[in-house]
């Protein structure tokens, strides 16, 4: 019979793990006098991870105690995000240095696997296994310079074993501030924040701003493409208090445009966001920045400090929040969940975020690049933006181009430009010895098109009939040395790793698809049936779009499956 006395809790003792007094002391010291409110959970987890290089079970319990959260709740959040290393009793702490090597599309095309294998051998040869570990990671947003390794927080472009070893030897593991960016003083000299001041002082009215945005046809540039002006207007009809939430979680493989603008001109999107907050009468602005952009985070912290210390006019509260390595948090409602300190699981809608968003309040959620263009559109007039389109399309698009072109990078080009035009006019053509074979028009989730379809306009709503979409305009250019079949598998592995697991069609569907796609002969009938279920029954865009590359590979690249073209 069970000895009840032996198992009985002492008076005042909690169920489950007991709080370790040393861990509690450490957590208290790390948190200092910062708020313990729930939405700061990710921020506080980062503090522990940064300090110790991992999060022990004792620290999780101490943090739960400190934040008045259940142990299970804090564990489920911490374990959801790739950038937190949870170490329970009996497990070994990870080596002090982590090297993350991207193995998404462009990096895979540029030898990521060989780089990983070479580096692993090198680490073993140098007997460094206790000091360094290698992690395979998805896109880190620098695809123009693939392959990319991140040593600690220090991104190494065009990475080779030698450059990585050098960074390790020199202990260069911190991210640097972006070079020569337009800081607060310079931005002010360029009449920055004048527009915001004019708005706040009544020189410009809300209606005129909304009209300009609507007339410019500015759309959400994170991928969904919802008209920005209309979104702001919807928010104005919602109950107060309202919130603005800015999404800088760009994790779609191939996408690097937000980082590109952020590293050069951070106050431009801040001013756009503050104008949005004024227009919808929001009381706070939340900025969600992906953890991979550590240099940008430091820069934003510094610049926000300057802005708050010497504001051009009265400002709402501005909060900068750090993601923790979860692609799905780029989905707007998952980002809101993450901002609330929870797992980044997409919400079922309705209700939409405009009605019930962050902390249950009406929320204007916008991509960072969308906000970047607000000032130019208002100051230069909507025609400046809308007149730039091509092939009947309107506006400008920032194409993140990577792969086999001579000049990859972020290219600002007319909406509706074709791939052939983009390559020839903006990318200096294909690399020597490469000819166009196919391309991803919208990152990993936007599908794959063959070279024969390189003359169709690239824009929102133009690619659906081909089973593709432009999304965040991440173009990955393939040549005769690449394989649509292999890259479709790469994309599916990525979706399987990043699925939040909330719904079965996506959680099991992506994993099953990876299994089927690894086989020498694809069971096309089963893959098509599986895709149909994923598209029809997944909760969010991740599961719905995951089959796009595989379906396109089957449709447009039959030669890779032993069929006649």
From residue 269 to residue 308, the character string flagging contacts with ligand SF4 as x (rule: CB under 6 A) and all else as - is: ----------------------------------------
Q: In whole angstroms, give the CA distance from residue 176 to residue 192.
A: 25
Q: Does residue 57 interact with ligand SF4 by CB under 6 A?
A: no
Q: Does residue 503 interact with ligand SF4 by CB under 6 A?
A: yes
Parallel/antiparallel/unpaired status of strands 149-151 and 474-479: unpaired
Q: Which of residues 473-502 bind ligand SF4 (CB under 6 A)?
A: 499-502
Q: Does residue 40 interact with ligand SF4 by CB under 6 A?
A: no
Q: What is the DSSP letter of 192?
A: T
Q: Does residue 178 interact with ligand SF4 by CB under 6 A?
A: no
**For residues 242 and 342, which CB has a smaller minimum distance to ligand SF4 in the complex?**
342
CB 256 within 8 A of CB 142: yes
Sheet arrangement for strand 242-248? 317-322, 282-289, 242-248, 363-367
**For residues 353 and 419, which CB has a smaller minimum distance to ligand SF4 in the complex?**
353
Only one of the segments 125-133, 463-471, 537-545, 554-562 lies at the binding site for ligand SF4 (rule: CB under 6 A); that segment is 537-545
CB 148 within 8 A of CB 167: no
**For residues 108 and 498, which CB has a smaller minimum distance to ligand SF4 in the complex?**
498
How many CA atoms, within 13 angstroms, populate the side-chain half-sphere of residue 217? 15
**For residues 77 and 276, which CB has a smaller minimum distance to ligand SF4 in the complex?**
77
Shortest separation between residue 501's beta carbon and ligand SF4, angstroms: 5
Q: Does residue 445 interact with ligand SF4 by CB under 6 A?
A: no
- Beta-carbon contacts of 417 under 8 Å, excluding residues fewer than 6 positions away, are 390, 391, 397, 399, 425, 457, 458
Of positions 38, 133, 507, 555, contacts ligand SF4 by CB under 6 A: 507
Q: In whole angstroms, give the CA distance from residue 361 to residue 551.
A: 39
**For residues 341 and 547, which CB has a smaller minimum distance to ligand SF4 in the complex?**
547
Q: Could you write out the three-class secondary structure of 456-484? A: CCCCCCCCHHHCCCCCCCEEEEEECCCCH
Please, what sign has the CA dihedral across residues 453, 552, 410, 460? positive
Instruction: Show the DSSP H helices in 83-219 as ranges.
Output: 105-109, 112-125, 161-169, 184-189, 194-200, 206-216
Shortest separation between residue 504's beta carbon and ligand SF4, angstroms: 8
Shortest separation between residue 66's beta carbon and ligand SF4, angstroms: 30
Instruction: Show the DSSP H helices in 472-539 as ranges.
Output: 484-498, 504-518, 524-537
Q: Which of residues 323-362 bind ligand SF4 (CB under 6 A)?
A: 328, 346
Q: Does residue 539 interact with ligand SF4 by CB under 6 A?
A: yes
**For residues 332 and 459, which CB has a smaller minimum distance to ligand SF4 in the complex?**
332
Distances (CA, A) of 75 to 42, 68, 78, 155: 12, 13, 5, 29
- Chain centroid to CA 274: how far? 22
Q: Does residue 540 interact with ligand SF4 by CB under 6 A?
A: yes
Of positions 168, 542, 551, 553, contacts ligand SF4 by CB under 6 A: 542
Only one of the segments 40-48, 103-111, 191-199, 533-541 lies at the binding site for ligand SF4 (rule: CB under 6 A); that segment is 533-541
Give contact residues for ligand SF4 (rule: CB under 6 A).
328, 346, 499-503, 506-507, 538-540, 542-543
């Amino acid at each position: 019979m069970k000895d009840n006395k032996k198992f009985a809790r002492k008076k005042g003792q909690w169920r489950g793990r007991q709080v370790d007094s040393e861990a509690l002391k450490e957590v208290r010291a790390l948190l200092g006098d910062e708020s313990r409110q729930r939405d700061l959970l990710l921020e506080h987890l980062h503090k522990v991870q940064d300090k110790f290089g991992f999060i022990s079970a004792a620290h999780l319990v101490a943090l739960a105690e400190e934040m008045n959260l259940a142990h299970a709740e804090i564990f489920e959040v911490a374990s959801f995000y790739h950038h937190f290393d949870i170490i329970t009793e009996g497990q070994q702490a990870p080596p002090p240095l982590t090297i993350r090597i991207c193995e998404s599309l462009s990096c895979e095309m540029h030898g990521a696997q060989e780089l990983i294998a070479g580096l692993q051998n090198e680490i073993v040869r140098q007997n460094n296994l206790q000091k360094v570990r290698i992690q395979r990671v998805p896109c880190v947003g620098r695809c123009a310079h693939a392959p990319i390794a991140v040593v600690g927080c220090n991104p190494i472009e065009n990475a080779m074993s030698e450059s990585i070893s050098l960074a390790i030897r020199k202990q260069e593991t911190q991210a640097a501030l972006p070079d020569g960016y337009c800081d607060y003083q310079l931005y002010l000299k360029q009449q920055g924040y004048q527009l915001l001041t004019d708005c706040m002082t009544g020189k410009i009215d809300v209606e005129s701003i909304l009209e300009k945005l609507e007339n410019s046809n500015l759309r959400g540039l994170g991928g969904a493409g919802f008209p920005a002006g209309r979104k702001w207007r919807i928010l104005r009809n919602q109950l107060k208090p309202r919130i603005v939430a800015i999404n800088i979680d760009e994790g779609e493989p191939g996408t690097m445009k937000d980082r590109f603008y952020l590293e050069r001109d951070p106050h431009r999107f801040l001013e756009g966001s503050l104008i949005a907050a004024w227009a919808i009468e929001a009381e706070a602005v939340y900025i969600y920045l992906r953890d991979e952009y550590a240099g940008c985070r430091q820069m934003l912290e510094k610049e926000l400090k300057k802005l708050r210390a010497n504001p051009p006019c009265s400002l709402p509260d501005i909060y900068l929040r750090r993601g923790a390595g979860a692609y799905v948090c780029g989905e707007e409602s998952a980002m809101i969940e993450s901002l609330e300190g929870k797992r980044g699981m997409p919400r079922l809608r309705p209700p939409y975020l405009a009605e019930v968003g962050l902390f249950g309040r009406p929320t204007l959620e916008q991509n960072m690049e969308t906000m970047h263009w607000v000032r130019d559109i208002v100051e230069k007039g909507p025609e400046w933006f809308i007149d730039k389109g091509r092939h009947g399309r309107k506006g400008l698009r920032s194409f993140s181009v990577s792969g086999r072109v001579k000049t990859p990078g972020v290219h600002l080009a007319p909406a509706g430009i074709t791939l052939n035009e983009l390559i020839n006019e903006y990318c200096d053509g294909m690399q020597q010895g490469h000819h166009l074979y196919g391309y991803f028009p919208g990152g990993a989730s936007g599908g794959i098109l063959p070279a024969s379809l390189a003359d169709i306009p690239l824009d929102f709503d133009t690619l659906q009939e081909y089973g593709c979409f432009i999304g965040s305009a991440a173009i990955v250019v393939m040549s005769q040395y690449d394989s649509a079949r292999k890259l479709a598998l790469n994309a599916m592995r990525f979706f399987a790793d990043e699925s939040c697991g909330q719904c079965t069609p996506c959680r099991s569907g992506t994993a099953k698809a990876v299994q089927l796609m690894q086989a020498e002969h694809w069971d096309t009938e089963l893959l098509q049936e599986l895709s149909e279920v994923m598209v029809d029954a997944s909760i969010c865009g991740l599961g719905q779009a995951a089959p796009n590359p595989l379906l396109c590979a089957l449709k447009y690249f039959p030669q890779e499956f032993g069929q006649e073209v």
